[in-house]
Structure 1
Amino acid sequence: MAKKRNTVRRRLLAALLLVVLVGAGAGWWTSRTWMPDRTRYPVQGVWLSDDDGSVDWRFLRAAGADFAYLTASEGAGTRDSVYAAGVEAARLRGLQVGPVHVYDLCAPADAQAANFVTVVPRDPELLPPAIALDIDSRTCPEPPGEAQMQSELTTFLNQVEKHAEKPAILMVSRGLEKQYHLAAMIDRNLWVSQDFIEPGYAGRPWVMWTATKRLRLHGASGPLRWVVVQP
């Protein structure tokens, strides 16, 4: 009798393990293919940098990308080597294009603005510049205080917006918003990020949302950051 009970128990455990594995596999696959509902978010696109490797713009367009934001510069000295080529390729496929600057909390605002305007020409057809703001201990081990950070960022925005001739979008991470409260302090459109679930950490309505950083599409060598626009 005991032997029979042990056999039944093993079979139940095996069946349970199979269910878990199947569920995990389905979840993994869903995370790689999930895209926001287009009936709810009609305008969708992608944020790319040279770290993402090569992409085939035909497939991105066919997958539903209406626009592409391309990283142009980072901090005071790093420039994306494929930015200009990306702008041209995306436009050839009918996508609107906008530039991204990855902001360094520890670098001088003037130097960062100069880096951005060196890479991004004045072009009225470009989408508003997006400023990616996050806390990165690798580039900024001792982040500035709230007042200093806001002062430097304001200086940077004034110079970049004068060059672009349009207001910038602040791409704020959850961690940075928690520490610096930019959404309440600086009046700009917001770009937020959270996989699969609409985030509320900014405390006010957002304009753009990176809905997943895991999307796999044919024509791209790695996972993509897929972005939607608030209708």
Structure 2
Amino acid sequence: MFPWSWRIAALTVLAALCFAGWQWWQWQHWTPERSEFPYQGVEIGERDGAVDFRALRAIHADFVYLEASDGRSARDPSFAQNLDRVRESDLPFGVIHSYDPCVSAEVQAANFVTIVPRAASSLPPAIELDRLADDCPQNVSDAAVESELTTFLNQIEGHVGQPAILKISPSFEERYNIATRIDRNLWLTRDWFQPDYAGRPWTLWTANAQLRNAASDMPVRWIVAQP
């Protein structure tokens, strides 16, 4: 027989593991309180697999952002299919372009306007800013990153007819301070806690990047909006 001290220690460890498992389950299924943030949605791309857009309504998604174009010429392979399905669901939606600082503004804008139909979205387009210019084949200065991004924004905003949202990662903001240099609404990311790394209020917040849900087989990125 094990001594009582060993039994107590084993029970303590088991209880701690059970609590950690329960807490992890809670985090995976957590969304912010609707009383504080009544308008919430989801980001969808190829990585999310087959998504039932009508079922998104059942888990109380109010809007959808679709990954669309990427850099010079890439596009999300699921975009066309997701675009058709989200239109059928009548959910408000917007699109996301993943910005590549190694590629000129004109080339990226051409990719965006080729993929995203004019006025295709009722929500402002989002420009994802995550990649740094450090690994570009040719040197791109920090000033050039800002200048080219401004040109890109002007070109795609002329296409969609409304200002874009800057979806800025912490590492991109730390390097370029874009939130203080370019006056656009912000989309920030931080699991479970409100982000403050941009130095000014956010409009969209990815609050849970691994939300387990009934609308897709894979976890999705859950977004919160505020005026």
Q: TM-score range by the shorter chain?
A: over 0.9
Q: Partner residue of 1:166?
A: 162
Shift of 1:124: 6.2
Give distance in 2, aligned partners of 1:202 and 1:101.
20
Match of 2:11 in 1: 15
Displacement after TM superposition at 1:142 (Å):
7.9
- Name the aligned partner's letter for residue 98 of structure 2: V
Larger radius of gyration: 1
The answer (yes or no) to whether the contact 2:102–2:133 under 8 Å persists in 1 is no
Unaligned runs of 5+ in 2: none
> Does residue 48 of structure 2 align to residue 44 of structure 1?
no
The one of 101, 108, 111 equivalent to 1:105 is 101
1:128 aligns with 2:156: no
| Partner residue in 1 for 2:72 | 76
1:7 and 1:138 map into 2 onto residues whose CA distance is 59
Distance 1:55 1:171 in 2: 23
Give the Cα–Cα distance (whole angstroms) in 2 for the partners of residues 201 and 140 of structure 1. Answer: 25
Identity between Structure 1 and Structure 2 (%): 47
- Name the amino acid aligned to 2:225: V
- The offset of 1:139, in angstroms, is 7.2
**Runs of 4+ with deviation above 2 angstroms:** 135-145
Farther off after superposition, 48-57 or 196-205: 48-57
Aligned to 2:192: 196
CA-based RMSD of the aligned residues comes to: 2.0
| Secondary structure of the structure 2 residue equivalent to 1:158 | helix
The answer to whether the 8 Å contact 1:135/1:143 transfers is no
CA–CA separation in structure 2 for the residues paired with 1:19 and 1:142: 55
Q: With the length of structure 1 as denominator, give the TM-score of the two structures.
A: 0.92
Structure 1 unaligned blocks of 5 or more: none
Count of residues in correspondence between the two structures: 227
CA distance in 1: counterparts of 2:138 and 2:16, whole angstroms: 43
Change (3 A) 1:228 1:92: same
1:10: Cα distance to partner?
A: 0.8
- Structure 1 SS opposite 2:10: helix
The corresponding residue for 1:31 is 27
Query: Structure 2: how far apart are the matches of 1:225 and 1:141?
Result: 32
Deviation string 1:113-170 (CA, Å, 9 cap, x unpaired) is 1111100010165311100001368975888332111011011111111101100000
Name 1:94's counterpart in structure 2.
90
Separation (CA, whole Å) in 2 of partners of 1:95 and 1:222: 20
Report deviation, 1:92.
Answer: 2.0
Secondary structure of the residue that 1:19 maps to in structure 2? helix
Higher mean displacement: 144-153 or 95-104: 144-153
- 1:117 and 2:109 correspond: no
1:122 touches 1:164 (CA, 8 Å); kept in 2? yes
Letter in structure 2 aligned against 1:61: R
The answer on whether the counterparts of 1:105 and 1:143 sit within 8 Å (CA) in structure 2 is no
